[in-house]
């Protein structure tokens, strides 16, 4: 889709901090810089949300969310994750390409969801510590 920011990230016309990629899924750091490791997981096929996503892609996205979440806990020192999705404008969906947010968590990290504050961080360094390729 020509005007979809996430489709442009998938096709490489907008740069991103890739964490994971497979045939159906692309995952990258959220540029909001609101929490270390805040990751977006999206299908490579454009769909608006969970309501219109083909099963093959939705299954692949959920499997990737689990794989990335396990990686963050088992290899990156996090103690848990929050996984969030908003489907539809009434649910506060802002980018109309299906996506799941992964917030890696540590006890006492001071994150209250939804996150609304920016933190000063180098996304390149965060990417290097979290990527799966």
Of 24, 97, 99, 101, the active-site residue reads: 99
Please list, in sequence order, all residues whose beta carbon lies within 8 angstroms of the beta carbon of residue 123, skipping any fewer than 6 positions away.
17, 29, 31, 33
Q: Is 99 a known active-site residue?
A: yes
C-alpha–C-alpha distance, residues 25 and 44, integer Å = 5
Which residues does 57 contact at the CB level (< 8 Å), separation at least 6? 24, 25, 43, 44, 45, 47, 98
Based on its alpha-carbon atoms, the radius of gyration of the chain, rounded to whole angstroms, reads 14
CB of 21 closer than 8 Å to CB of 133: yes
Would you name the residues annotated as active-site residues?
A: 99
């Amino acid at each position: 889709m020509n005007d979809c920011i996430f489709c442009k990230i998938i096709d490489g016309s907008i740069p991103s901090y890739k964490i994971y990629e497979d045939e159906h899924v692309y995952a990258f750091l959220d540029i909001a810089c609101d929490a270390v490791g805040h990751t977006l997981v999206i299908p490579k096929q454009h769909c608006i949300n969970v309501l219109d996503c083909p099963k093959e892609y939705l299954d692949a996205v959920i499997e990737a969310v689990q794989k990335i979440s396990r990686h963050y806990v088992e290899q990156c020192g996090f103690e848990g994750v929050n996984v969030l999705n908003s489907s539809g404008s009434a649910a506060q969906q802002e980018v109309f390409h299906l996506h799941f947010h992964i917030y890696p968590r540590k006890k006492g990290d001071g994150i209250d969801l939804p996150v609304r504050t920016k933190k000063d961080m180098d996304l390149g360094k965060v990417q290097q510590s979290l990527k799966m390729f």
